[in-house]
Amino acid sequence: MKFVLASASPARREVLRSAGIDPIVRVSDVDEDAIAAALPEGTAPDVVVVELARAKAAAVAATIPELAADCVVVGCDSMLLVDGELQGKPHTAEVARARWGEMAGRSADLVTGHCVLRLQDGRITAEAIDCSSTTVHFAKPEPDELDAYIATGEPLQVAGAFTLDGLGGWFVDRIDGDPSSVIGIGLPLLRRLLGDVGVAVTQLWGHPAG
């Protein structure tokens, strides 16, 4: 059985590899902003990230006929929930700086939507979705530290403008919840979702991609 990760995130890939799964990586071309904007006003944050994860998984599942005989496709989407507002990737230094101005010295929830699709004989035979949430307690970087961090470019392309497993880890005091979920793919939740589609995670251990 093949495990397909519908994500370009090297952090998600490394979490899986460290946990015994070497995924086949296929990147979806979905417009995340358009999908989120199309959801009804007031859609709950956990529903937003789950729908984004589902869209990514479905888009990739439609493009892998060579793998569809027997595989699982996993899509994920992470955002930081600050004062009731979801924050994705900042993309610019100005936005990253503004977000750190809001969250430094405070706590926020990193929510990650997960979607697992089981493909057999060329069609989707099962789907499992859910969201994980982990509270992140941020430190207060000194101005020169924040300048240096933003200058690296790392916070510009990650949800919430920080990482736990990279340079941003220096500015996280602690977390309450699953660390792998903060990195972008929650192993405890993923294990349960795989079980929901009839796949034991142990079936996927040690099977190289390709």
CA–CA gap between residue 114 and residue 189 (Å, rounded): 8
CA–CA gap between residue 181 and residue 201 (Å, rounded): 17
pLDDT of 68: 75
pLDDT of 206: 80
In this prediction, the residues of the chain whose per-residue pLDDT falls under 50 are 208-210
pLDDT of 209: 42
pLDDT of 210: 39
Give 148's contacts (C-beta < 8 A, 6+ positions apart): none
Give 117's contacts (C-beta < 8 A, 6+ positions apart): 57, 58, 61, 72, 73, 74, 75, 124, 126, 127, 197
pLDDT of 208: 44
- Torsion angle, alpha carbons of 126, 47, 139, 14, to 10: 20
The letter for the amino acid at 44 is A
**Paired tokens of 193:** 């979702």
pLDDT of 32: 86
Give the residue extent of every domain in the chain.
2-204
Per CATH, which fold does 2-204 belong to?
Answer: Maf protein (3.90.950)
Q: Annotated catalytic sites, by residue?
A: 77
Looking at the chain, the whole-number percentage of residues with pLDDT higher than 90 is 83
pLDDT of 122: 84
Candidates 135, 140, 170; CA nearest to 154 is 170
pLDDT of 29: 85
pLDDT of 69: 84
User: Mind listing the pLDDT tens digit for each residue in 135-174?
Assistant: 999 999 999 999 999 999 999 999 999 999 999 999 999 9
Average pLDDT over the chain, rounded to whole? 93
pLDDT of 17: 95
Opening angle at CA 157, ends 23 and 142, nearest 5: 125
CA–CA gap between residue 126 and residue 121 (Å, rounded): 12
The single residue listed with the structure tokens 């090297």 is 10
Pairing relationship of beta strands 2-5 and 70-82 according to DSSP bridges: parallel
Q: Could you tell me the pTM of the whole model?
A: 0.92
